[in-house]
Structure 1
Amino acid sequence: MTATPRGQRKSAAATKLGTVPTALLRRIEREAGGAAAKAAPAAWMRAVAHACRAELAERLNETMQADRDSGAKRVHYLSMEFLMGRALANALAALGLDAPFRQAAEHAGVAAADVLEREPDAALGNGGLGRLAACFLDSLATLGVPSFGYGLRYRYGMFAQRIQDGRQVETPDDWLRLGDAWELPRPELRYPVGLGGHVASDEGLARRWVPAQTVYADAIDFIVPGHDTRRVAVLRQWQAAPANPIDYAAFSRGDHLGAAREKLEAESLNWVLYPDDSTQAGRELRLKQEFFLVSASLQDMLARHLAEHGTLDTLGDKASVHLNDTHPALAVPELMRLLVDEHGLGWDAAWAQTCKLVSYTNHTLMPEALETWPVRMFEQLLPRHLEIVYEINSRFLDLVRAKLPGDEALVRRVSLVEENGERRIKMAALSIVASHHVNGVSALHSELMVQTIFADYARIWPERFCNVTNGVTPRRWLAQANPTLAAVLDERLDGPAWRTDLDRLAQLAPLARDAGLQAEVRAAKRANKERLAALVRRELGVSIDPASLFDVQVKRIHEYKRQLLNLLHVVARYQAIVAEPNANWVPRTVVFAGKAASAYVAAKDIIRLIHDVARVVNSDPRVGDRLKLVFLPNYGVSLAETIMPAADLSEQISTAGTEASGTGNMKFALNGALTIGTWDGANIEMAQAVGREHFFIFGLSAEQVAQVRALGYDPRLHYEENARLKRVIDAIARGDFSPGEPERYRALVESLLKRDSYLLLADFHGYVEAQAAVDRAFIDTAAWDAKAILNIAGMGSFSSDRTIREYAARIWNVPA
């Protein structure tokens, strides 16, 4: 099955396209071993995926050959997660094969939607960090930037979330049970990765690492298609394999488990994303995973560079290595080890190449979220790398003393080794010291980054820090997720060109009050709300009204994301409805989804409280359809593609100064949802693009948050002074929502009243007032629709295509 080459005459293209459904039906019959009409949807899914993969492999060969011939500089994007979601619909759209696929399915009497639904989400990521990386691969391919994404092939993802009696229960996400139709194994690419052991000196006193254990990294490619181009990008995933798959002598002795120990130890590197680090074993496994990723990826990059260029002298001119947060920070000492120990470069030459290669994106302003590793663990697992880190640190501190003499306090603060308490290696500091550029992911985040957590480093290298605001791919998050709205845009914007030129959305702004456009956008929203309502009824057995306001917060469950603030408003609203059931309430459906880390007790308590409140609210006859509360389990890309197009209101309510950027906020607005949020992260730039009057902004600013904390914050004052807030917290504390166990949420309530680390109580009044403004706005249908259209129209600059162009120009120095 081959896509129609662009540029052919229309009649020739139509003739060729007409052969595709027949070829596809024949392929399905061959793979299923019977008539296409009788093949199961899963068999259809695999056969269609294989057909797409064949075309993508051809394009991959073209792309790789073109890059070799041109001597292009490549970007190597290292990330612990890539949240790809399903691939089939995206591939069909990119290859121009969506219509032929649907024709073939219709001819065989098979529902195309059923085929698409049979594909599992690729469990290679969890949250915004991984989804951002996936959007970037889409844009790298679409813009034709030579690139590789590098990640791990997780067998069971992070976990599949189940809800039992309101509690989150983690189970393996067995997404590879039936194999992956998209994978392209590269058995010729295998690299050794060492662990443990000791460091020895040879006769020339050069230091050499002698690992105690070696595992092999096998490459498996996932091809990411570009849109409106034949170019593709590659996600190269690493699968660990043992040096000795079985200890035959142990097996012969009857020690069958012992015989497989080395195999199990190797394969455990690929079992799960982010092992629970509340145990020593979990922390060690996470460090091993991070090193496995960077070692294999860098060996692959160096081997390709030497094959194409023959010398490492040009490495920094022909390659970029980008660290997506600190998880791949071990790339710095590993690259130095490979260049110095394995390839014979002198230290200064190797360091010069490293600093030309490496750049780093920071994703957090919270010091506790900056990754560090104990020196003793480093010494045990990566002894040569510890020596290299010490040498980097020594030379760096000499530079600091020369540049800013006499400030030993500064020297202590910027050292790569934390000396207070247990000695630890600071991975963000290591990334900064080796990078030619360090970027934040929104204007506010980048500003605060150099004022707070990285202020000392910005004093040393002010030119090194910059901003690149995040973006999302409109191909996935509008064209694919919301075809009803996409069809409206195709009609209003003279075709589908907006998919690769999102700035065209600005043409909608003058039409925001056009009654015809409002009706079309409203109809698309209603169709999406009905689809979500059907899903909720099917999965949860709860009926929700598509005419109600869909108020949505879907993201990782974390205290700083403040799902609990949202829930406090739900309880306040419930209490008010019960007190005045005959008031003119705006019907509202509140939707939550997201996973809590398995060891994160407070976040899991929040999930349970959501379910307890939902049980009470949804069953109270005094409330009826005025208020519904639902939690959809196992949040992922495919679920997001159903939820986001249906949302009327997007909850982006993190404590100001804690959210680096956000990308969910962009996806919601792109689909016509209005935002209620704090003046934080990318909310600020979005509000400036759309018009602040079309956002519902509330709460303390980042500057005010800092002032409140500096003065000494007492959350109990807000509790005592706000009668509405007091009623809400008292109801939770006395067990109104957990009557069988009234003390269930004591820890949660005490945390709010004694610490309230993320200032929920300080922002509660402003949040409730903003929600009242939402109610008033929703009643005026035409005004609401105009705001929704203006939100869509203002999203042009939040395309990941714009983001990648900025990375290419400001950081990577590659054309895009």
Structure 2
Amino acid sequence: MAAKKSAHDHERRKQISIRGIAPVENVCNIKNSFNRHLHYTLVKDRDGATSWDYYEALAHVVRDHLVGRWIRTHQHYFREDPKRVYYLSMEFYMGRTLNNTMVNLGLENACDEAMYQLGLDIEQLEEEEGDAGLGNGGLGRLAACFMDSLSTLGIAAYGYGIRYDYGIFEQKISNGWQTEEPDEWLKFGNPWERARPEYVLPVKFYGRVQPTGKGSKWVDTQLVYAMAYDTPIPGYNNNTVNTMRLWSAKAPNSFNLQFFNSGEYMQAVCDRNLAENISKVLYPNDNMFEGRELRLKQEYFLVSASLQDIIRRYKHTKARRERDNFECFADKAAIQLNDTHPSLVIPELMRLLVDEEGLAWNKAWDIVVRTCAYTNHTLLPEALERWSVALIEKLLPRHLQIIFSINHFFLEQVELRWPGDMERVRRMSMVEEDDEKRINMAFLSIVGTHATNGVARIHSELLKTSVFRDFYEMFPERFQNKTNGITPRRWLLMCNPGLSELLSTKLDSDWATNLDKLQQLQKYGNDEKFLHDLMIIKLYNKTKLATYLKATCNIVVNVSTMFDIQVKRIHEYKRQLLNCLHIITMYNRLKRNETAGFVPRTVMIGGKAAPGYHIAKLIIKLVNNIANVVNNDPQTNERLQVVFLENYRVSLAEKVVPAADLSEQISTAGTEASGTGNMKFMLNGAMTIGTLDGANVEMREEVGEDNFFLFGMTVDEVEKIKKEGYYSKMYYDQNAELKEALDQINDGTFSPEDTGLFRDLFNSLVFDDRFCLLKDYQSYIECQQRVNDLYLQPLQWARKCLLNIAASGKFSSDRTIVEYARDIWGVDPSGLKLPAPHENPGTEL
């Protein structure tokens, strides 16, 4: 430990200069609290404690500083009764909590100094924490960023999700193939959560609908219970702490002891396990709908428990102990549906209001529409949820009746608006009458909410002009755009402290909550010393990543090369294969000794493939096989290296993003809703090579076309070429370098042990190139040459990197949440800042 302490000393001293010297009293309190938790919470002493014990003791110390703020925040909400925002999401990809919490509470320097004085390395302790991987990718990570911004802006907000026992699988690479292992993130417990057994709520499934004189009644149901686990979400430097409430499935408590004597005890245990399977595991599919019963159970489980909790909170206030009607429900609650996964909120809230609370249908419908709003996250047809009518009828019979009624009344409105247009009525029906009757959940979400938004301007326009054109013509006032954003606290302050310090020397101290102030950096574009400092920080971050890769993967990378990085879920539309074609093209040129002016590159590709996605798994195998050939060829390996980043996750992204020189955002125009990885790289001073897709369009507008490497077709050009007939083999036949690369994929150059291994990839590109890789190939190669040429001019490269940072202000999730608050939720985003609690946690209440 002493050696680690010594190695950490230089970095620790550097961080002290960044954050200022911690008061001696704070450091002393933290040391005392740390020892107290080690002894009394963990029942360990320094002789028997492990690194995990030290991490957990520190986590409890930091949580102590949260508790007073957490309680005071909710006392304030109870007393003032503001309108609450409820963010429902099947995914919250939170990552690690310790470092982010220390940053938001301003404790990082005091904790660092305290651990140093105790002979511990705080970075090592931070590495002990596993990722809370309760999400697949962008959707879940966006939810996490939004929770941070909601707290930082002082908005009374609650995140509702599922506490999966197993999050996104842990990816292992074996002989180049992806294998999946369970993510046991709760194996050692979770010091950040607090179980709330007092909020155990019943959730019903199956059964039948019984008509009565007072309406319909859902009877003979099977019960599962939802137990709440609360996690504090602190705002940045404002003493506000909101709550993320995750639900865990519990079987009913009844346990018939006669089973011990009748021999059916094991069956009783198995039945309990089946009930609790609902929250067992996160479905690992991203941008792909999988219509399985367990998934529908999960979606309703989230919705039912959350709505019961929302209504309980609405009814119980300090001003009026019990609200006895729902007249002001929509004025006190805003429910945001993060994609269609929680869309059962609409029929479930109708059921609760009509069947349980006795409201008239029209009154209840008005409340539902005014309360709920819907965010769409995809343009891909295969990702849109369409649930089988038979499955809904089996699992949620009353809800199917309600959906049919909603659809009936809605189609009556459509007929009134467009008399005789039965084709339009058919197109707009929520009930699709193809081979199997299905409910289109996106249509339900639009009809049952007052606002539908896309997540980038081009995405929102495509929703209006193509995917939901009929609905836009019906409800033009409901459609909005809310371009995604990222929290600058995690994605700059926390993950890139060196750059944060440099920016703080030039900007006002509140820039992390007013990211538009980054624009002031533009005036330093010709300041050579500042640009030099910027590149020194980039080199330091590249060295940190290289050190990590050597220590964890035994991969050695050259930090003097360009770090060319593409990290995201593996999917055909994200076009990792286009990146592979470029790598092979560079390899072939080097083999031909075309080395003049060639900038050495380290190309890193990372991401997980859905376990059942054959092509995506083949892409991972191809990347690893290309790496095996390129990295072991003495003619090329000093100029070109390929690395597959195993088990890409939030904590790895925090190391990769600050180290990137070039960010690959190369999806086919019109397929990526927004992207947020593109924003993280931009904020941390990477250049972007990308298409006019998703948020890339707005990023390029902000930074200027000269500071963005643009290639490829536009959305209109993609639509035109597909309408006219796209023949990808023509590009294969006409482009010699492209044909050479594809033939090498097909002939076994990268799979000598099995020459037909990648034939499916070859055929998918040459004969069925759905995402137009071959059409965009030449444009991409030429654009990559421009990247190469600019990198040969370090000062010009640095200047453009600075301009990218300076133009990143728009892409703060704070800005996104302010727009949601004002345009959709009707709440004040001006910012609640509560008084600071007593310095000694535990004594202030």
Match of residue 801, structure 1, among 814, 817, 840 = 814
Counterpart position of 1:436: 450
Post-superposition shift, 1:424?
Answer: 0.2
Partner of 1:644: 657
TM-superposed CA distance for 1:487, in Å, is 1.3
Show the counterpart of 1:766: 779
Aligned partner (choices 265, 285, 301) of residue 294 of structure 2: 285
Q: Distance in 2 between matches of 1:780 and 1:633?
A: 32
Structure 2 counterparts to residues 346-357 of structure 1, below 5 A: 346-357=360-371
CA RMSD of aligned residues (A): 1.9
Distance 1:700 1:211 in 2: 56
| Residue 97 (structure 2) aligns with | 87
Q: Is the 8 A contact 1:275 1:286 kept in 2?
A: no
Match of 1:135 in 2: 145
Query: In the alignment, what sits opposite 2:834?
Result: none
1:51 positional shift: 2.4
**What SS does the corresponding residue of 1:814 show, helix, strand or coil?**
coil
- Structure 2 partner of 1:603: 616
Contact 2:208 2:398 in 1 (8 A): yes
Match of 1:490 in 2: 504
Preserved CA contact (<8 Å) 1:277 1:283: no
Deviation at 1:255, TM superposition (A): 3.9
Give, in whole Å, the separation in 1 of the partners of 2:253 and 2:260.
13
Identity percentage over the alignment? 47
Deviations 1:301-336 (A, max 9, x none): 001101125132111110001000010011111111
1:217/1:241 contact within 8 Å kept: yes
User: 1:563–1:247: structure 2 CA closer, same or farther, 3 Å change rule?
Assistant: farther
In the other structure, the counterpart of 1:58 is 68
Worse-matched range after superposition: 739-748 or 254-263: 254-263
1:361 paired to 2:371: no
Deviations 1:58-101 (A, max 9, x none): 22221112112212000000000000000001111122221221
Specify whether residues 669 and 280 from structure 1 end up closer, same or farther in structure 2 by C-alpha distance, changes over 3 A only. Answer: closer
CA distance in 2, matches of 1:279, 1:811: 28
* 1:295 pairs with one of 300, 304, 312: 304
Structure-2 residue corresponding to 1:665: 678
Question: How many angstroms does 1:367 deviate by?
Answer: 2.1
1:215 to 224, 243, 251: 224
Question: Please, which runs of 5 or more residues in structure 1 have no aligned partner?
Answer: 1-9
Contact 2:602 2:641 in 1 (8 A): yes
Q: What amino acid is the match of 2:179?
A: V
Asked if structure 1 preserves the Cα contact closer than 8 Å seen for 2:665 and 2:689, the reply is yes
- 1:541 equivalent in structure 2: 554
> Does residue 108 in structure 1 map to residue 121 in structure 2?
no
Q: Which residue of structure 2 aligns with residue 267 of structure 1?
A: 276
Distance 2:461 2:168 in 1: 32
Could you tell me which amino acid in structure 1 is paired with residue 296 of structure 2?
L
Sort the Cα spacing of 1:112 and 1:195 in 2 relative to 1 into closer, same or farther, 3 A. Answer: same
8 Å CA contact 1:37–1:108 kept in 2: the answer is no
CA deviation vs aligned residue, 1:108-155 (integer Å, no higher than 9, x gap): 111111111111101211200000000000000000000100000011
Q: Secondary structure at the match of 2:612?
A: coil
Does structure 1 residue 153 correspond to structure 2 residue 153? no
**How do 1:676-687 and structure 2 match up within 5 A?**
676-687=689-700
- 2:824 counterpart residue number: 811
Shift of the 364–184 alpha-carbon distance from structure 1 to 2, 3 Å rule, reads same
Are the counterparts in 2 of residues 245 and 263 from structure 1 also a CA contact under 8 Å? no
Judge conservation of contact 1:21–1:100 (CA < 8 Å) in 2: no
Residue 90 to residue 592, structure 1, CA distance change in 2 (3 Å):
same
Is the 8 Å Cα contact of residues 645 and 671 (structure 1) preserved in structure 2? Answer: yes
Query: 1:535 Cα deviation (Å)?
Result: 2.1
Give the match for residue 172 of structure 2.
162
With the length of structure 1 as denominator, give the TM-score of the two structures. Answer: 0.96
- The answer to whether the aligner puts 1:74 opposite 2:84 as a matched pair is yes
Once the two structures are TM-superposed, the CA of residue 637 in structure 1 deviates from its matched residue by 0.4
Q: Match for 1:578 among 591, 615, 622?
A: 591
CA distance 1:508–1:211, change in 2 (3 Å): farther
Q: Is the 1:716–1:753 Cα contact (8 Å) retained in structure 2? A: yes
Residue in structure 1 matching 2:199, options 168, 189, 196: 189
Q: CA deviation at 1:171?
A: 1.0
Check conservation: 2:432, 2:439, Cα contact below 8 A.
yes
Larger RCO, structure (CA 8 Å, separation 6 or more): 2
Partner of 1:500: 513
Equivalent position of 1:6 in the other structure: none
Contact residue 656 and residue 702 of structure 1 kept, 8 A: yes
Task: Look up the SS of the partner of 2:558 in the other structure.
Answer: coil
1:513 aligns with 2:526: yes
Letter in 2 for 1:688: E
- SS of residue matched to 2:295: helix
**Alignment partners' CA distance in 1, 2:370 and 2:753:** 62
Q: CA deviation at 1:35?
A: 4.4
Q: Which moved more, 1:175-184 or 1:89-98?
A: 89-98
Structure 1 Cα separation of the partners of residues 22 and 730 of structure 2: 75
Q: Which residue of 1 aligns with 2:648?
A: 635
2:368 & 2:38 partners in 1: Cα distance?
A: 49
Distance 1:120 1:241, change over 3 A: same
- The reply on whether 1:786 has 2:802 as its aligned counterpart is no
Contact 2:27 2:111 (C-alpha < 8 Å) held by counterparts:
no
Greater shift after overlay, 666-675 or 33-42? 33-42
Partners of 1:280 and 1:504 in 2: CA distance? 41
The one-letter code sitting in structure 2 at the alignment partner of 1:602 is I
CA contact (8 A) 1:151 1:237 kept: yes
Correspondent of 2:423 among 395, 401, 409: 409
In 2, Cα distance between equivalents of 1:281 and 1:96: 43
Q: How much does 1:17 deviate?
A: 5.9
Matched, 1:463 2:472: no
Equivalenced residue count is 805
**SS of corresponding position for 1:181:** coil
Indicate the residue corresponding to 1:372 in structure 2. Answer: 386
- How has the CA–CA distance of structure 1 residues 472 and 275 changed in structure 2, closer, same or farther, with 3 Å as cutoff? closer
Equivalent residue, structure 1, for 2:134 = 124
- Tell me the equivalent position of 2:749: 736
For 2:286 and 2:499, the matched residues in 1 are separated by 43
SS in 1 for 2:327: helix
- Alpha-carbon distance in structure 1 between the residues aligned to 2:653 and 2:233: 20
SS in 1 for 2:577: helix
For structure 2, the 5+ residue unaligned runs are: 1-19, 830-845
* Alpha-carbon distance change, 767 to 248 in structure 1, aligned in 2, over 3 angstroms: farther
CA contact 1:278–1:599 (8 Å) conserved in 2: no
In structure 2, do the counterparts of structure 1 residues 252 and 500 end up closer, same or farther at CA, with 3 Å as the change threshold? farther
More deviation, 399-408/724-733:
399-408
Distance 2:626 2:787 in 1: 22
Gap change, CA 1:813 and 1:13, over 3 Å in 2: farther
Residue by residue over 1:410-442, the C-alpha shift from the partner in whole angstroms, topping out at 9 and shown as x without a partner, is 110010101122110000000000110100111
Residue-by-residue CA offset, 1:331-375 (whole Å, 9 max, x unaligned): 111111111111111111110100010000001112221111000
C-alpha distance after superposition, 1:650-695 (max 9, x if no partner): 0000000011111000000000000000011110111111111100
Please state if 1:530 is matched with 2:543: yes
Separation in 2, partners of 1:512, 1:575: 37
Amino acid of the residue matched to residue 285 of structure 1?
A: L
Question: Which amino acid is the alignment partner of residue 435 of structure 2?
Answer: G
CA pair 181-252 structure 1, distance change in 2 beyond 3 A? farther
1:174 to 181, 184, 196: 184
Contact 2:287 2:383 in 1 (8 A): no
Q: Taking structure 1 as reference, are residues 247 and 265 closer, same or farther at Cα in structure 2, changes over 3 Å only?
A: farther
Which of 233, 241, 253 matches 1:232? 241
Contact 1:36 1:108 in 2 (8 A): no
User: Is the 1:275–1:285 contact (alpha carbons within 8 Å) kept by the matching residues of 2?
Assistant: no
Aligned twin of 1:4: none
